[in-house]
Structure 1
């Protein structure tokens, strides 16, 4: 440790000579002084890394000196040292953002610990995190070669997210690049796993995960009761890591009872996955049973206009008509604020469902594409943007009100999203669907290695637009591009957030049950 300058302020500074010598032997440079006013003069002349400040001094007291220091150098760490254990002094000092609080008599090791905690904190955490991930990297690499069930994939993906968030805070670019390559490898293997197993998930007596169409019946219904109102929030297009980014804010108001990942159906797109949640049906069954509500890709008009009706029909089918419920879709700040103003009236419902469209609007913001690309240029920035939105959103106000009114809270989503990096050429006729991560149509030409193919859409319970229609889903971070106007198209959509295809980010998504604190 070199070049760390400490200002130590104490009216009995001579008695602290042994402590100062101890620190100087450890290569810290200590400037001693006897009073608050002298300390303030020295701070005008010289820069310091940290201040040790006695609370009980004649003239300017420690607390008064602390106030003056904070006005001059708000970010300078100050450690308060006091004989007194009176609570009001602690509260005053903490309110003024002290770095630490020590009670006399202090020994040299306490001082050293405080220095390490405040000045070496980032380096020590960074070194420990890097070392831990290096050990974990080998374990994850081994798991990747052996993972073979949907549960194992969900666990592995959560582990990758955990390390992504840990490494994000230490800003070690080298480690981050290693993790990125590991995520990439994981997505390659995951694509093969889905290719091999997805069709079998719809057969009887197979080990299938909870999928979009059985989420309501299997996981939400058991939580419903006429004894406690439930608020179900479906945040459109929310990745698992984005939930983890704002989970600490939610935990201020709610305690987590259950959390588990479930799988979005394919395509991982709103009209398929979210309609499946609310109807409790796969898309081919929605088309058959509710032809007046279901729209295919090539049909005109909005594809998600009948979620309330789908939910109504599912609740009738499950014999839940005794539960009073209401459905709301929030697509604008104005709509969110209006619901906040009327939130108290929702306490009369057994179930209130809110679909919140913010994240989807952000990732689809084509008209502001350059701005969104700048603000969310990578996953770290995308998480940060989501967290910032959530902190300032009407949704947080709703959650705060729900907590005060005693609501159970269920948070989930319909599918995730992935930052697409690499184009994959595709050719189709003019009736081919427009999505960048999946295509449906006749006579599709594509790169076999880049896609999961459903030549018979019925095998995965999807509607066929015609006798010869098929579906293709992009794997990993690929996006589909047509050969005509190829370069312009690729530069426009590369590094944007898209969904509809096969990736850990799109398919493995959060379901969380919380109760008010």
Structure 2
């Protein structure tokens, strides 16, 4: 039974309300002052308190403060005759559960109770019911989806329901959604296999991709009248963006959002260099051999993004734009940029590459503690949100809002939790990535990968005349037969990228203006 404490110096006038609640099965304890209420609260566990604001002796606000000190999680509904703004602000600042203006009727009270005490159950039941209806529609869409736009719509729908179901107690619904995501990735792999190569043909309808993103979507936003901050968060999935978007919305309002496609491989050295150069990897290799490194080359593969950006701006006739490029790879570098952030206001374009999410996903394969913290997509999102709320990046976004920057937020590729090993054999020069391989004489399971015999057909460098690429589909990861079981147990349920999946390829691009 729900136990209510109702505090009002005119409690006798509320008898009809109390009888109404008791008939609904609630138990109501009455008292007439704040002092009396505090004595009762010390001795009795209540589920909720209705508190009159205007009482002799201890006022409602004073009583509220005392209640919150003693029982921080006890919901308190403030009831007042006054509509003065400062009273509302005081009450809300003290985390009241609800705020009602007298005269209240019994149904308002009942609604407040439902909202505060039955909220989780009601939301859970409604969400489950809505998803059950939507499940059939998604299943039907899956059998018919046939364009890159339709795949974006379907993936965004799956993310929406994943986030909705995250807060409910029905694990069965989450399992059903997971099976739909698995089916969707299987169909998506077939779609990419059939269409990806055609996207590079002249006059073909193709999505915005890594190498066209800057020219098609970023350049139109640049202006010498307003500085622009471009933030590229490495390895950011669409669901992770949606999870921390509300914190960015405190400072910025969204003017546009689109999902674009990462090129293959969905790996940093390919996809992020493509964004900054505006070129596919094969063109980077031929035009800028001094900047491009292949998988088997020694040294860092993303050391020249700033150079690629400068060259692309010149090629687009924007060499006159004042710009800066910064890469943040650790907390110390992030804090240092925060300290010097105001100097960026004189630039037309400031670019920040933030490597945290990439480090997190890779560290998951190395650190058991992170493996525990990010054991599934829900936990991975939660960990990302926790980082973002406490990161120098959020401080930079706050400062950019104060300085009037336009904010563009995007990523280079996403990542997927790999669960299913598939055997591959290659020579000693084969690349090491778990989601793609490039090399000679690769042996693999045909159904598990997208195989490209001629890398030039998708504008990738060929290491030798006989080199090919393979990309793992769905949640597969590529494992060598040698020491297979140890390798599989080490990498299963870790976050990897480089292959073909909705999570890796369909990624966010958001333009925002300061509030």
TM-score range, shorter chain: over 0.9
- Look up the match of 1:111: 109
After superposition, give the CA deviation of every residue in 1:186-225 in whole Å (9 maximum; x if it has no partner).
0000000000000100001111101111111111111111
Moved more, 6-15 or 176-185: 6-15
Q: Helix, strand or coil for the counterpart of 1:452?
A: strand
Specify the SS of the correspondent of 1:194. helix
Query: In structure 2, which of residues 308, 313, 316 is the aligned counterpart of residue 315 of structure 1?
Result: 313
* 1:387 aligns to 2:410 (yes or no): no
Which whole-Å deviations, capped at 9, do the CAs of 1:353-411 have from their partners, x for residues lacking one?
A: 11111111111116742122111111111111111111111111111111111111111
User: Is 1:147 matched with 2:145?
Assistant: yes
- Give 1:326's match in structure 2, choosing from 321, 324, 327: 324
Partner residue in 2 for 1:283? 281
SS at match of 2:199: helix
Name the residue aligned to 2:35: 37
Residue aligning to 2:292: 294
Structure-to-structure mapping, 1:85-484, within 5 angstroms: 85-365=83-363, 368-484=366-482
Secondary structure of 2:321's counterpart equals coil
Residues in 1 aligned to 2:332 and 2:270: alpha-carbon distance in whole angstroms:
27
Task: Work out the CA distance in 2 between the residues paired with 1:171 and 1:507.
Answer: 30
CA distance in 2, matches of 1:394, 1:498: 25
The match for 1:17 among 15, 18, 21 is 15
Question: Residue deviations 1:403-459, cap 9 Å, x none?
Answer: 111111111111000000111111111111000000011111111100000011111
Give the one of 56, 59, 62 matched to 1:58: 56
Deviations 1:138-163 (A, max 9, x none): 11111000000000001110111011
Q: Matched residue of 2:507: which SS?
A: strand
Distance 1:464 1:246 in 2: 39
CA distance in 1, matches of 2:357, 2:277: 22
Structure 1 residues 83 and 508: CA distance shift in structure 2, 3 A: same
Match of 1:266, SS state, is coil
SS in 1 for 2:350: strand
Decide which moves more: 231-240 or 92-101: 92-101
Q: Which runs of 5+ in 2 are unaligned?
A: none
Give the Å deviation of 1:164. 0.6
Q: How far apart are the structure 1 equivalents of 2:236 and 2:92?
A: 37
Secondary structure of residue in 1 paired with 2:478:
strand
Q: Does the CA contact (< 8 Å) of 2:424 and 2:442 recur in 1?
A: yes
Secondary structure, in 3 states, of the residue corresponding to 2:137?
Answer: helix
Q: Distance in 2 between matches of 1:280 and 1:292?
A: 16
Residue 83 of structure 1: CA displacement?
2.4
Q: Secondary structure at the match of 1:170?
A: coil
Taking structure 1 as the reference length, the TM-score comes to 0.98
Distance (whole Å) between structure 2 residues aligned to residue 163 and residue 312 of structure 1? 41
The secondary structure found in structure 2 opposite 1:355 is strand
Q: Which residue of 1 aligns with 2:24?
A: 26
Q: Does the 8 Å contact 2:230/2:408 carry over to 1?
A: yes
C-alpha distance in 2 between matches for 1:488 and 1:163? 35
| Structure 1 position 71, deviation (Å) | 1.5
CA distance in 2 between partners of 1:208 and 1:86 (Å): 57
Whole-angstrom CA distance in 2 between matches of 1:393 and 1:226: 29
Q: 1: distance between equivalents of 2:154 and 2:364?
A: 33
For the residues of structure 2 that align with 1:20 and 1:54, how far apart are their CA atoms? Answer: 15
Per-residue deviation, 1:64: 2.2
User: Is 1:503 aligned with 2:501?
Assistant: yes
Unaligned runs of 5+ in 1: none
Task: Tell me the SS of whatever aligns to 1:365.
Answer: helix
* Inter-partner Cα distance in structure 1 for 2:272 and 2:487: 28
Q: Deviations over 1:26-59 (max 9, x none)?
A: 1111112222222222222221101111222233
Calculate the TM-score normalised by the size of structure 2: 0.98
What does residue 82 of structure 2 align with? 84
Checking the alignment, whether the CA contact within 8 Å between 2:364 and 2:374 is kept in structure 1 is no
Bigger mean CA offset, 16-25 vs 138-147: 16-25
For each residue in 1:435-484, what CA deviation from the matched residue of structure 2 results, as whole angstroms up to 9, or x when unmatched? 00000111111111000000111111111111111100000001011111
Aligned length: 515
Distance apart, 1:322 and its partner CA: 1.4
Contact 2:373 2:383 in 1 (8 A): yes
